[in-house]
Amino acid sequence: MKVILSPEVAAALSAHQPVVALESTIIAHGMAYPANVETALAVEQAVRDHGAVPATIAVIGGKLKAGLSRDEIERFGQEGRGIMKVSVRDLPFVAGRGLDGATTVAATMRIAGMAGIPVFATGGMGGVHRRAGETFDVSADLTEMTRSNVAVVTAGAKAILDLPLTLERLETDGVPVIGYRTGEFPAFYSRSSGLKVPMRAETPDEIAAIMRSKWNLGLSGAVVVANPIPEAAEIPAAEIEPVIAVALAEADRLGIRGKDITPFLLSEIVQATEGRSLQANIALVKHNAKVAAEIAVAFAGN
């Protein structure tokens, strides 16, 4: 199955111009309406403002699409969780049934790779969940990191995860994790996690050179670009960690598991922080879009 490209995205790829993939789960499952639509459009604008073409990715009527119209983004925002959250595992189902689907990091990476879009901006990637030794809950995002040739610009992994184990898994799978102007792995809401990144880069050109080098060596899979949340928007780890612990306990009490747990936890944290975590989330995804666009420009120019 081919990916259906919007005319703008198709023209950019044909002309070897920079394009940045964006996910649609953040629209349907990450935020409430209308903040979800406002954020999606602002993220697309951030990509444009820094020289690249945005390609928001979703499944619509069973068709894989890269580059949504404003009306499609609006509909995803309004229907919200009525639209299925789709990882790679779910793609055959939604495609075969002709359904709509909001793509996760993993599914967005896969479709971006199929479309030939080498740079993807997200908020925070998935990873190894806390107590994974009991639940075996490990995000499909990590598996996809070994398969799709896409640079993923992310504010680290979501803070609700086990960050040390997530980094260990990425190392085991041979996925480069590059701190962008930082020596620490960011923790989504927080700039600091206390965990060192194995590599560091200071410029988009350096990231682009690493991407090209990896794939020219015949090494398949992603390059993770760990880009900290802007300092003015961060919630320090010491402040957010107790909030996360309470949200995790509530998820346990309610028996929430699998792909429902991340949106549940993020919603609980928004309520507990009186919206401050939502503002942090919006700030970091816009910042990631900016950096991703700069990397896409550098990669297209190499």
User: CA–CA separation, 41 vs 38, rounded Å?
Assistant: 5
Looking at the chain, how many residues does it have?
A: 302
Catalytic, out of 65, 158, 286, 290: 158
Show Cβ contacts of residue 270 under 8 Å, excluding neighbours closer than 6 positions: 277, 278
How many CA atoms, within 13 angstroms, populate the side-chain half-sphere of residue 30? 27
User: DSSP state, 216?
Assistant: H
Residues 6+ apart with CB under 8 A from 38: none
Q: Are 47 and 121 in contact (CB under 8 A)?
A: yes
Compute the half-sphere exposure of residue 218: CA atoms within 13 Å on the CB side of its CA. 0
**Taking a C-beta distance cutoff of 8 angstroms, is the pair 40, 6 a contact?**
no
Q: For residue 23, indicate whether it is catalytic.
A: yes
Distance separating alpha carbons of residues 178 and 278, to the nearest angstrom: 26
Q: What angle do CA 30, 34, 39 make, to 5 degrees?
A: 60
Pairing between strand 101-103 and 84-86? Answer: parallel
- Burial class, 280, CB count within 10 angstroms (exposed 0-12 / middle 13-18 / buried 19+): buried
Catalytic annotation, residues: 23, 158
